[in-house]
């Protein structure tokens, strides 16, 4: 199994275990914030499952109907994940705030321990997924890493809210419920951010200027290239497809200019692992006008 799907599967197992732990503990201890954090982790199981399926499908090779590969499935899954987070956050917030008026007794103190376990586990998963997502340029895995970071933040919010209630049940009896409401809002805004980022990729937004500069530098390093007139790139899943307009000697033969274009394509793919393929257009370099 490749590293992306393997991490997604690990995330599913960890999130599933944490969801069961927090839902059971939150229900038994009568803690709404722990219960809300447990349902948020349950949504993570669905999210990680979506990522696992998407990474598996995105790895399929190109075919006659999909010459650019199936990488956009991975981007679409990130968009779907954003909508899941948004809906889950709305549900958590509504449920939490609607139950504020029914609070009569403080939660049991042992409800605090699942939160410590959850925060530690999610911080570790976030760092691991984020590092891997940067290496393989996975938008979906990056979104999943951000989701783990939000999980740790929501766990911290639940921890503070529950801690206030346990510290002074008279003054902060409803803090546990308000903490659950804050968790829901955090999840909502995370969903909005993920939808925006993946939506920009589906609109073929150009990558970071530093990446475009690298493409130009590698192309210009090939002997025979006089310049790079245009350079475009779009992400199709885990990698980028590049359109490049090279300037060469206008008196050069078609065969020689084709050979230069092929060397440029090969060198970019060799030196820049995040580039899937390069479509090279060859154009005559402008002649310098002689000053008399």
For domain 3-202, which CATH number applies: 3.40.640.10, 1.20.1510.10, 1.20.140.10, 3.40.50.10420?
A: 1.20.1510.10
Spatial distance between the Cα atoms of 212 and 110, rounded to a whole number of angstroms: 53
pTM above 0.85, yes or no: no
How do the domains of the chain map onto residue ranges?
3-202, 209-284
- Residue 99 binned pLDDT confidence (cut-offs 50, 70, 90): low
The winner for highest mean pLDDT among 92-101, 131-140, 149-158 is: 149-158
More confident call, 223 vs 157 = 223
> What are the pLDDT digits (tens) for 232-247?
998 876 678 899 999 9
The DSSP annotation for the chain comes to --HHHHHHHHHHHHHHHHHHHHHHHHHHHT-HHHHHHHHHHHHHHHHHHHHHHHHHHHTSPP-SS-TT-STHHHHHHHHHHHHHHHHHHHHHHHHHHHTGGG--SPPPGGGHHHHHHHHHHHHHHHHHHHHHHHHHT-HHHHHHHHHHHHHHHHHHHHHHHHHHHHH-TTTSTTHHHHHHHHHHHHHHHHHHHHHHHHHHHHTT----HHHHHHHHHHHHTSTT--EEEEEEEEE-SSSEEEEEEEEE-TTS-HHHHHHHHHHHHHHHHHH-TTEEEEEEEEEEPPPPPPP-
- pLDDT on residue 291: 40
CATH of domain 209-284: 3.30.70.1350
pLDDT digits (tens, 9 = 90+) for 23-48: 898 888 888 788 878 887 887 787 77
User: Is it true that 3-202 and 209-284 share their CATH fold?
Assistant: no
Query: If you average pLDDT over residues 80-102, what whole number do you get?
Result: 78
């Amino acid at each position: 199994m490749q590293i992306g799907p393997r991490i997604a599967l690990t995330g599913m197992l960890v999130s599933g275990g944490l969801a069961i732990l927090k839902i059971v503990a939150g229900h038994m201890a009568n803690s709404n914030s722990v219960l809300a954090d447990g349902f948020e982790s349950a949504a993570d199981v669905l999210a990680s499952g979506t990522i696992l399926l998407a990474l598996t499908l995105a790895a399929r090779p190109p075919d006659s109907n999909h010459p650019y590969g199936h990488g956009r499935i991975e981007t679409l899954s990130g968009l779907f994940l954003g909508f899941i987070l948004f809906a889950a956050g709305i549900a958590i917030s509504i449920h939490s705030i609607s139950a504020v008026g029914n609070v009569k007794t403080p939660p049991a103190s042992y409800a605090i321990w699942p939160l410590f376990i959850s925060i530690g586990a999610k911080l570790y998963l976030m760092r691991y997924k984020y590092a891997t997502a940067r290496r393989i340029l996975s938008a979906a895995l990056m979104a999943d890493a951000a989701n783990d970071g939000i999980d740790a933040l929501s766990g911290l919010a639940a921890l503070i809210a529950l801690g206030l209630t346990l510290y002074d049940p008279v003054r902060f009896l409803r803090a546990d419920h308000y903490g659950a409401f804050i968790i829901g809002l955090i999840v909502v805004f995370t969903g909005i951010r993920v939808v925006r980022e993946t939506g920009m990729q589906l609109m073929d937004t150009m990558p970071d200027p530093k990446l475009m500069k690298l493409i130009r530098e590698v192309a210009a390093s090939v002997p025979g290239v006089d310049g790079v007139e245009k350079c475009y790139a779009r992400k199709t899943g885990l990698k980028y497809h590049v359109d490049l307009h090279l300037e060469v000697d206008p008196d050069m033969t078609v065969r020689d200019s084709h050979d230069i274009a092929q060397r440029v394509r090969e060198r970019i793919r060799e030196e820049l692992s995040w580039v899937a393929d390069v479509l090279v257009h060859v154009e005559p370099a402008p002649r310098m006008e002689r000053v008399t």
